[in-house]
Amino acid sequence: MDVTINSPIRTECRGDVLVVEIDNPPVNAGSWAVRKGLVDAVAILEARSDLLAGVIVGAGSTFVSGSDIREFNQPLTWPSMAQVIEAIRACSKPVVAAMHGFALGGGFELALGCDARIAVPGTQVGLPEVTLGILPAAGGTQRLPRCVGLARAMRMICTGERITAEQAGEAGLIDRVVEADLLHHAVELARAMRGKTRDLLDQPVPAEDDGAVAAAEQSALRAGKRRPAVLAAIASIRNAAGPDKLAGMTAERAFFDQLQQSGDAVALRYQFFAEREAVKLPPAVSVEPRPVRTMAVIGGGTMGGGIAISALDAGLEVLLLEQDAEALARGAERVRSHYQGRVAEGKVQERDAAARLAGLTATLDWNVLARADVIIEAVFEDLAVKQDVFRTIDAFARPGAVLATNTSYLDIDAIGAATRRPHDVLGLHFFSPANVMKLLEVVRGDRTAADVLATGMALGRRLRKTPVLCGNAFGFIGNRVFNAYRKQCEYMLEEGAWPEEVDQALEAFGFAMGPFSVADLAGLDIAWRMRKAQAAQRDPRERYVDILDQLCERGRLGRKTRAGYYLHEAGKPAGKTSDAEVRGIIERASARRGLKRRALSAEEIQRRALLAMVNEAALLMREGVASRASDIDVVLAQGYGFPRWAGGPVFWARQQDRAALQADLLRLGESCGYGFELGDVSSLET
Ligand code: NAI
């Protein structure tokens, strides 16, 4: 191979075909050096008369998994990926993209800009730029629709959907899918083109039903919350159907330039890097994880069922245990019906579902625990019950097995103390539905061993989650911040806002759902039970809003009883106006506190809710519950519906004037009254 020193591009001649290999570990990101090397390689192909065609292939495990996002904050230096593709287009000889692993973002645009495409099965292709607040700007919005039509392009680009090579082949995006010998077949395909070039840009968008395009547009707008990147992507995709292809390309670039430094894009890039940081263990505990092949799940309820599915999807063997035959049958059925549903929806092939289910053993025989590498307990949220279960686990588990609890609030050390091996115990806090939600809080007890934590983090990644390390404190990271936020929202009810005003203000900010709609969905009784359990320890001088308790006492437990903060009548959309009974409860609560009710603007509601989260985040940093401030943003965005494009409370705090923010927090403290602890926002700086 010809190697230019330090270049991630290698070239080699296979007879009359130039093979251009991209070797930029770990994921072959399309960095400046890659782009420059590609332009040079295309120049070699053009210049040498003994060469008839070229093939671009990725070294290692993948083609090109995307652009180098670190470069997004710097001024663009020639050549951009669009300019690389322009060079391929201008080259008089055909170039074939040979893909395996991932061809995403700029990597897929590169492939779309080649004269032909070939891939091995399972290769994933897609244009996820919109999820970073930008749009594909190397012709992706112009070439993709010319192949798959406007409607499908909107779906793929606006949601960042990835499809497999097989699906891409059916859609005409890939010319050939070959089982093996990718490079050999790519070279043959390049030769078979007999020197003819072609560009997707030269073909017209296929004829489509206007109604289908409009429907795809509406659904993309809904799913993408009408964020600027989605609006731009739709407009750009529509340009592909226009008469002037070069104007479409120019407009795409202009959209990109507008979006690149927009608030959304900056926040989404921040989230992207924060997620990558969050999954890393701090150096002190960064050790080899213990191997995991078999997972036991104790308790097949809502969470246990979801955790089992998540593990089966990751190819683990799962042992499901329950307290009695009836609960066991229910738990196993929960898992089975999930897969039946996936097959019925066409999301999973029947044989894949069967293969996953074959990994499940549902049993009442605790002796099987001896086979488990990791055991996750998801029984009722009650310390005595959990300690009892852990004593039994301790009796049956093999030495070295990792013992985890999915508790939401309980003390990991108190649970670990029920065993003779607290160093093997940690918290693995999944979110509901556990097979869908990405967040996993990995909770470190006082005595948890480093390799047990490392195993928890590695297991989280294997289950395709975002594991975040947390200290063992009430509510860990997420529920601590969420409780502070919810409490602040309850104060605002007492001061004069109605539930729908609070919900609407926070939904307008970007939360998937306002706090009172969330409470109705989850059920108010969970919080009610906890409040009752904590009543004895509560300092009577603390400001305590009892609206939720009053609702529960009247049997208003949320959606499941058709009434909570709102009425949820059968057949009617969820209520968004509080009824007279709720308003009466709220007004009496204000009167008891001696508060004259006043109107709160949406802006005040949003700011106070954010300030409450920011303050709690600062406290979490002071207490060492979070190891990095940005971890808190990852938790909020992945587990609690905080809009990713707003970055998170820590990101928000960093954008504010420090002195004004600290002054606002002081004022917030005054409104909270006795017991308020003021955090130091300087702990939230990078
Ligand atoms: P659930 O009530 O749906 O399921 C609990 C299951 O545990 C039941 O099927 C029950 O039969 C079984 N069980 C009880 N005692 C047992 C024992 N001694 N041995 C074996 N099985 C036993 O409860 P859910 O919602 O799944 O919660 C489980 C745990 O997960 C709790 O600690 C909860 O706080 C936590 N969690 C719940 C979340 C949620 O949104 N539901 C979210 C995150 C954590």
Q: Is the CB of 391 under 6 A from ligand 1?
A: no
CA of 350 to the centre of ligand 1 (A): 29
Cα separation, 608 vs 605, whole angstroms = 5
Choose the residue to mutate in 298, 379, 412, 430 for probing ligand 1, maximizing ligand atoms within 8 Å of C-beta.
379
Choose the residue to mutate in 408, 442, 479 for probing ligand 1, maximizing ligand atoms within 8 Å of C-beta.
408
Identify the architecture of domain 3-259 in CATH.
Alpha-Beta Complex (3.90)
Q: Which two tokens stand for residue 401?
A: 């097995």
CA of 514 to the centre of ligand 1 (A): 26
**C-beta atoms surrounding 61 within 10 Å:** 13
- Of all protein residues, whose CA lies closest to atom 19 belonging to ligand 1? 323
pLDDT beneath 50, residues of the chain: none
Q: Can you tell me which atom of ligand 1 is nearest the CA of 409?
A: 34
Contacts of 351 (CB under 8 A, 6+ apart): none
CA of 382 to the centre of ligand 1 (A): 9
Q: Which two tokens stand for residue 35?
A: 């782009």
Enumerate the β-bridge partners of residue 403.
375, 425
Q: 230: helix, coil or strand?
A: helix
- Of all protein residues, whose CA lies closest to atom 31 belonging to ligand 1? 381
Which pLDDT belongs to residue 570? 77
Length of the chain: 686
Q: Is the CB of 306 under 6 A from ligand 1?
A: no
What is the torsion angle, in degrees rounded to the nearest 10, for the CA atoms of residue 33, residue 34, residue 35 and residue 40?
A: 90
**C-beta atoms surrounding 283 within 10 Å:** 7
Closest CA to 404 of 449, 436, 437: 449
Domain ranges of the chain: 3-259, 289-476, 479-684
Cα separation, 284 vs 277, whole angstroms = 15
Q: Is the CB of 414 under 6 A from ligand 1?
A: no
CA of 516 to the centre of ligand 1 (A): 24
CA of 378 to the centre of ligand 1 (A): 5
The DSSP code sequence of 432-444 is SSTTT--EEEEEE
Q: Is the CB of 301 under 6 A from ligand 1?
A: yes
Cα separation, 624 vs 644, whole angstroms = 24
Cα separation, 33 vs 448, whole angstroms = 44
The DSSP code sequence of 127-172 is -GGGGGTS--TTTHHHHHHHHH-HHHHHHHHHHT-EEEHHHHHHTT
- Annotated catalytic residue, options 86, 109, 217, 377: 109
Give tens-digit pLDDT for 82-96. 999 999 999 999 999
CA of 513 to the centre of ligand 1 (A): 25
- Of all protein residues, whose CA lies closest to atom 3 belonging to ligand 1? 301
Cite the beta strand spans of 400-512 per DSSP E: 402-405, 425-430, 439-444, 466-471
Which pLDDT belongs to residue 675? 87
Closest CA to 638 of 428, 470, 439: 439
- Of all protein residues, whose CA lies closest to atom 9 belonging to ligand 1? 301
CA of 373 to the centre of ligand 1 (A): 21
- Of all protein residues, whose CA lies closest to atom 40 belonging to ligand 1? 432
Closest CA to 58 of 138, 15, 6, 120: 120
Cα separation, 126 vs 66, whole angstroms = 10
Q: Is the CB of 134 under 6 A from ligand 1?
A: no
Cα separation, 334 vs 616, whole angstroms = 37
Cα separation, 427 vs 290, whole angstroms = 16
What is the torsion angle, in degrees rounded to the nearest 10, for the CA atoms of residue 175, residue 176, residue 181 and residue 184?
A: -40
From the options 1.10.1040.50, 3.40.50.720, 3.40.50.2300, 3.30.1330.20, give the CATH code of 479-684.
Answer: 1.10.1040.50
What is the torsion angle, in degrees rounded to the nearest 10, for the CA atoms of residue 521, residue 526, residue 531 and residue 532?
A: 130
Q: Is 170 an active-site residue?
A: no
Q: Is the CB of 380 under 6 A from ligand 1?
A: yes
Q: Is the CB of 105 under 6 A from ligand 1?
A: no
Q: Are 295 and 311 in contact (CB under 8 A)?
A: yes
Q: Is the CB of 67 under 6 A from ligand 1?
A: no
Alpha helices by DSSP H, listed for 262-316, are 263-278, 302-313
Q: Is the CB of 639 under 6 A from ligand 1?
A: no
Q: Is the CB of 298 under 6 A from ligand 1?
A: yes
Cα–chain center distance at 54:
37
- Annotated catalytic residue, options 12, 21, 86, 129: 129
Q: Is 494 an active-site residue?
A: no
CA of 395 to the centre of ligand 1 (A): 21
Q: Are 502 and 605 in contact (CB under 8 A)?
A: yes
Q: Is the CB of 406 under 6 A from ligand 1?
A: yes
Q: Is the CB of 129 under 6 A from ligand 1?
A: no
CA of 531 to the centre of ligand 1 (A): 19
Q: Are 438 and 409 in contact (CB under 8 A)?
A: no
Q: Is the CB of 302 under 6 A from ligand 1?
A: yes
Q: Which amino acid, residue 655?
A: Q
Q: Which two tokens stand for residue 601?
A: 């603007």
Cα separation, 92 vs 47, whole angstroms = 10
Q: Is the CB of 381 under 6 A from ligand 1?
A: yes
Burial 520-555 (b: 16+ CB within 10 A, else e): beebbbebbeebeeeeeeeeeeeebbbbbbbbbeee
Place of tokens 């070039």: 197
Cα separation, 95 vs 19, whole angstroms = 10
Q: Are 472 and 444 in contact (CB under 8 A)?
A: yes
Cite the beta strand spans of 241-373 per DSSP E: 294-298, 317-321, 360-363
Instruction: Report in angstroms the alpha-carbon separations of 281 from 74, 87, 258, 456, 626.
Output: 29, 43, 36, 10, 12
Cα separation, 119 vs 180, whole angstroms = 9
Identify the architecture of domain 289-476 in CATH.
3-Layer(aba) Sandwich (3.40)
Q: Which two tokens stand for residue 643?
A: 């809009």
Burial of 288 (0-12, 13-18, 19+ CB in 10 A): exposed
DSSP letter, residue 646: G
Q: Can you tell me which atom of ligand 1 is nearest the CA of 430?
A: 43
Closest CA to 112 of 180, 33, 200: 200
**C-beta atoms surrounding 669 within 10 Å:** 16
Q: What phi, psi does 53 have (nearest 5°)?
A: -160, 170
Model-level pTM?
Answer: 0.92
- Of all protein residues, whose CA lies closest to atom 11 belonging to ligand 1? 327
How many Cα neighbours within 13 Å face the side chain of 676? 20
Q: Is the CB of 378 under 6 A from ligand 1?
A: yes
Closest CA to 457 of 284, 607, 289, 620: 289
Choose the residue to mutate in 297, 298, 303, 406 for probing ligand 1, maximizing ligand atoms within 8 Å of C-beta.
303
Q: Can you tell me which atom of ligand 1 is nearest the CA of 385?
A: 18
Cα–chain center distance at 247:
35
Instruction: Report in angstroms the alpha-carbon separations of 41 from 22, 589, 641.
Output: 11, 74, 46
Q: Which two tokens stand for residue 476?
A: 């860990």
Q: Is the CB of 303 under 6 A from ligand 1?
A: yes
Q: Which amino acid, residue 301?
A: G
- Of all protein residues, whose CA lies closest to atom 4 belonging to ligand 1? 301
Burial of 469 (0-12, 13-18, 19+ CB in 10 A): buried
CA of 469 to the centre of ligand 1 (A): 22
